[in-house]
Structure 1
Amino acid sequence: MYTQYFGLRENPFALPPDPRYLYLSLRHQEALAHLMYGITQAGGFVQLTGEVGTGKTMMIRALLERLPENVDVALILYPFLSVEEFVTAILDEFRIPRPERPESLKVLIDALNRFLIENHGKGRRTVLIIDEAQKLSREVLEQIRLLTNLETTKEKLLQILLVGQPELDHVLAQPDLRQLAQRITARYNLKSLLPKETAEYVIHRLRVAGAKQPIFTRSAIALLHRLSGGTPRLINVICDRALLGAYGLGRNVVTSAMVRRGAQEIGRAAPRRYAIAAGIAAIALLAAGLGGWQLSARLTPAPAAPEAIPVEVAPAPPPVAGGEPATANGGAAAETATEPAPARVEDLFNDPAIALDTESALAALFAQWRRDYARLEGKTGCQRAQSIGMRCVYGSGNWNRLRQLDRPAVIELLDAEGRRHHVLVTGIGDERVALEIGGKAREYAIADLDRYWYGKYLSLWTPPPGRHAAFKRGMRGPGVVWLRQALARFNGEPMPERASEVFDRALEEQVKAFQRRHGLDDDGIAGRGTLIHLDVYDGGRPTPRLARLARESS
């Protein structure tokens, strides 16, 4: 959703490994050199280990791209196999015809051996790469050892690369696997990035995606390293969330506060006292003299707002003239024509007549609230929402999360070619989802959409009156009155004639009960998440709700 806003061609922090984004730190270069040597020169086994998210899969792809033309490779990604299934998978990867009726494992091994001898006679090398090797059974590991017995008088016929988490070392250290461990000729343990490498990693990915200037401030990069521990996968996830936050606020740079909030959304938070340490680390990064986009004051503009970003604290601007409230009729506020859905979700992606861009999806979203997206002020959808007193709510979750949110939402679909598409969800059933595209309603099976939706969504909500971002016991004011009225509607109770402006213990218990009902932390504080869910029960400005789709009869 933010790529066009930041002048990017694509999402620079997508999780699927893309060799174009490969960043080779000094450690990654050493690891690649070890792997290349072990596979092209040595015999027996080569081992690569690393913690989750350190880039092992990307290293495999980088290795495959650099192997000589005379190397044939089989890649086994699924470790939970029996011995027979494992050998069969190797035959399939090398496209070796299976025996019609293999009477025993020996028949399969003989077929593999014939292929290896033929390949060797052609002057070709044969390599087997096994990912998630720490999960292999003892029986399969023993069979892997036996495969290295396939050899000529001068060299091994099969080179094997074991890739896994550090637990692989403990597995191979067992006494009954010592013969296999002794055959490992090259080992490398992939470490996390150093602070300077984290900065270079972020810069590299942004440049590949098409950015022309720095987007992250120095302090943001320093905090990012602390929160991620230098783990590339976590860096990607936090950066993605931070960029989405900056987009929602209409900011051109990502500050440390946005990085902190992005990390909190995925369950990784840092204490506020880290701000000083982040500043010191930023100075160290500057002194390092990074090439390319230097993280310097000359190239990185100062953030437009202080590090703390109270998104919901600012008072809501008055609604634009002519705006009509949405109707709370249990379904979509804007009427849509019904059209038979294409047979497959893929047909949506390949039909040039169907608009799946971000702006079209946002226009459809605003129409649910009876707002003309094109006539509102602001560069981004979230800025336009603020111009009418609303706010964006974005996050990552599943269909149950959208059911709990209970309002139309734009979701992002990623097709097989890595292209991103945005569509509006207007209804959810047990098995199907209703989408609105180009003013037409289409329904798809949840199982089909799950192949393309990775959990990202964006919707709208209206903050309650007052300047408070959260309400808790002891506070008073019109916002507390609104809170009481919304909870009364939720509970189906009559509106009190004179609602108290004081947030007392009884109201706190009502808030806790509401939070438990909606899967929220029951702390009794009506913060942003609680207020977003209560927004549906605002009688003065009805919120469009998701349609409930009937279950299909079998």
Structure 2
Amino acid sequence: MYTHFFSLKQPPFAIAPDPRYLFMSERHREALAHLLFGVGSGGGFVLLTGEIGAGKTTVCRCFLEQIPENCELAYIFNPRLSVAELLQSVCEEFHIPLPAGDSVKGYVDAINRHLLASHAQGRNNVLIIDEAQNLSADVLEQLRLLTNLETSERKLLQVILIGQPELRTMLARPELEQLAQRVIARYHLGSLTEEETGSYIAHRLAVAGAAGMPFPPSTTKLVYRLTQGVPRRINLLCDRALLGAYVENTHEVNRAILRRSAAEVFGDAQPSARPVRRWAMLAGGVMACAAISAAAWQLMPREAAPVVAKASPAPIKRAPVAAVPVQVQGHAGAETALRELGALWGQQLPAGDPCEAAARLELRCHQGKGGLYELRLLDRPAVLTLRDGAKSSYAVLAALDDANASFVLDGKRQTVSVASLAARFDGSFTTLWQAPRGFRNYVPAGESGADVDWIGQHLARLDGTQAPQLGTPFDAGMRERLRAFQSAQGLDADGLAGPRTWMRLNQLAGVAEPRLLAANKKN
């Protein structure tokens, strides 16, 4: 009822997960990057958790709009199912003809045939389960078994679990350890900050076509305090506050209106009884019928309100939406940026392929896609891919903290806000890491060498055991120790020494490498 009063095209604070209203805070960007990264990572499980109302489903809807064309998608939003019911739902979502009878084996065989046929056609299969905290342990185990079907390069089924924080607790149970070890990417979506809360409100109003800013900056702190920065709570509060402002015949929401609105939608404020009664009656009247609400409002005992002219109110200065105070600068080509990254390692990479040149200097390139979250885990400078419409550029990220990012461009430093970076960073990056002497991309079981000696000595140093003798082969015992290390470090516990494992071993061993996070630069 208030949309015309505030010159809005539609209600800006509806709680439906409309991707048009998705406010891409740093955390939302990273959550979306994790989902996109998981789809192209070769199968397994991707985990997205968050508090109630944090925006998980909205991020998922945005992800669905960007999913690659070669992906077949199944979406289950009511996971309170038995094992047989889940398998039946998977068959229905993937349009797999249901087998005769309702046996678990029949469903599994049908799904496996479909996965193999899709793989032969070059297609990937992605299963998304929302509200996954409602899954039983038996159903989760069956999902793990479905992902057993794989080729030498990838698993044939990608499972994305979206749920509330208790989902993380469930996966920490001993009986689900095998599934937890198959989670290749996980992200917890937190609440907005106070600053982001103000930007979130302005963003949604702008999308809805607001000509002014009904929520002055002075109200942001109170909105944040009443909602704890949870997007759904912000929507509920601001929607009711706009209704209250409409009832009060004012084009600006004040603190009193916010408190009364919070009392109605949350019950966590204690205004006087009379205003609450009046607001409850008015809210019901307005939502039922504008004429009835107007009559009800006139019947309420109060002082006469000044008459507001029909003309539009004086324009109110709107808070900037997703303002980018400093534009991130970058190189036109990735090779130039990689050579600048090499300089941070004290190496001048010659002409030609920078990664091949780095390999001759016992450095290795590692390409990833995971956003700022992944970069913080790796804790090393990297070349980032920046987007400006259809154009791409490449910048060397040299330092990062909670608020700012520092770049190197032609040997000079520039600092921008993390929000400015997130507006252009597409999640793709290339970094360097120092390889040990004799490094091999893959060490077969039973092999020995300088790289195997390095692994054995550093694992022994970390777990306090006796270092193996030089020349000890990469046997089952060493692989199990490596798996235990990977699991403890939140890595994919595959027992293979991949780039992420080497990087983490280097960090814990104190190998002298450039660091990204400001807290580590003092060490």
TM-score under structure 2 normalisation? 0.54
Q: What is the CA distance between 1:191 and its match in structure 2?
A: 0.4
- Cα distance in 1 for partners of 2:176, 2:39 equals 22
Contact 1:217-1:256 within 8 A present in 2 as well = no
Correspondence for 1:480: none
Correspondence for 1:62: 62
Contact 1:391-1:462 within 8 A present in 2 as well = no
Correspondence for 1:331: none
Correspondence for 1:260: 259
Correspondence for 1:395: 283
Q: Which amino acid aligns with 2:41?
A: Q
Q: Which amino acid aligns with 1:157?
A: L
Contact 1:42-1:185 within 8 A present in 2 as well = no
Q: Give the alignment partner of residue 460 of structure 1, picking from 289, 293, 296.
A: 296
Correspondence for 2:97: 97
Contact 1:410-1:459 within 8 A present in 2 as well = no
Q: Does 1:208 align with 2:207?
A: yes
- Cα distance in 1 for partners of 2:302, 2:212 equals 38
Q: How does 1:12-91 map to 2 (within 5 A)?
A: 12-91=12-91
Change in Cα spacing, 1:423 to 1:97, as seen in structure 2 (3 Å) is farther
Q: What is the CA distance between 1:391 and its match in structure 2?
A: 9.3
Change in Cα spacing, 1:179 to 1:410, as seen in structure 2 (3 Å) is same
- Cα distance in 2 for partners of 1:27, 1:260 equals 28
- Cα distance in 2 for partners of 1:42, 1:155 equals 4
Q: What is the CA distance between 1:459 and its match in structure 2?
A: 7.0
| Cα deviations by residue, 1:205-249 (Å, 9 ceiling, x for unpaired) | 001101022110112222101110000000000000000000001
| Cα deviations by residue, 1:387-445 (Å, 9 ceiling, x for unpaired) | xxx9993336xxxxxxxxxxxx5646xxxxxxxxx6999xxxxxxxxxxxxxxxxxxxx
Change in Cα spacing, 1:411 to 1:462, as seen in structure 2 (3 Å) is closer
Correspondence for 2:165: 166
Q: What is the CA distance between 1:41 and its match in structure 2?
A: 1.7
Q: Which amino acid aligns with 2:59?
A: M
- Cα distance in 2 for partners of 1:465, 1:8 equals 30
- Cα distance in 2 for partners of 1:135, 1:37 equals 25
Correspondence for 1:111: 110
- Cα distance in 1 for partners of 2:25, 2:198 equals 11
Contact 1:392-1:458 within 8 A present in 2 as well = no
Q: How does 1:394-413 map to 2 (within 5 A)?
A: 394-395=282-283, 409=285, 411=287
Q: What is the CA distance between 1:189 and its match in structure 2?
A: 0.4
Correspondence for 2:220: 221
Contact 2:263-2:270 within 8 A present in 1 as well = no
| Cα deviations by residue, 1:46-77 (Å, 9 ceiling, x for unpaired) | 00000000000001101101111111111110
Provide the secondary structure at the position in 1 that maps to 2:53.
coil
Correspondence for 1:8: 8
Contact 2:3-2:11 within 8 A present in 1 as well = yes
- Cα distance in 2 for partners of 1:205, 1:98 equals 44
- Cα distance in 2 for partners of 1:179, 1:222 equals 44
Q: Does 1:151 align with 2:150?
A: yes
Change in Cα spacing, 1:36 to 1:459, as seen in structure 2 (3 Å) is farther
- Cα distance in 1 for partners of 2:177, 2:121 equals 33
Contact 1:393-1:459 within 8 A present in 2 as well = no
- Cα distance in 2 for partners of 1:235, 1:466 equals 29
Q: What is the CA distance between 1:152 and its match in structure 2?
A: 1.8
Q: What is the CA distance between 1:150 and its match in structure 2?
A: 1.5
Change in Cα spacing, 1:392 to 1:224, as seen in structure 2 (3 Å) is closer
Change in Cα spacing, 1:19 to 1:459, as seen in structure 2 (3 Å) is farther
Q: Which amino acid aligns with 1:395?
A: A
Change in Cα spacing, 1:410 to 1:2, as seen in structure 2 (3 Å) is closer
Provide the secondary structure at the position in 1 that maps to 2:46.
strand
| Cα deviations by residue, 1:86-129 (Å, 9 ceiling, x for unpaired) | 01011111111112334x21111111111111111111111001
Change in Cα spacing, 1:254 to 1:424, as seen in structure 2 (3 Å) is closer
Provide the secondary structure at the position in 2 that maps to 1:395.
helix
Structure 1: runs of 5+ lacking an equivalent:
273-307, 314-389, 397-408, 413-421, 426-456, 468-554
Q: Which runs of 4+ in 1 moved over 4 A?
A: 310-313, 409-412, 422-425, 461-467
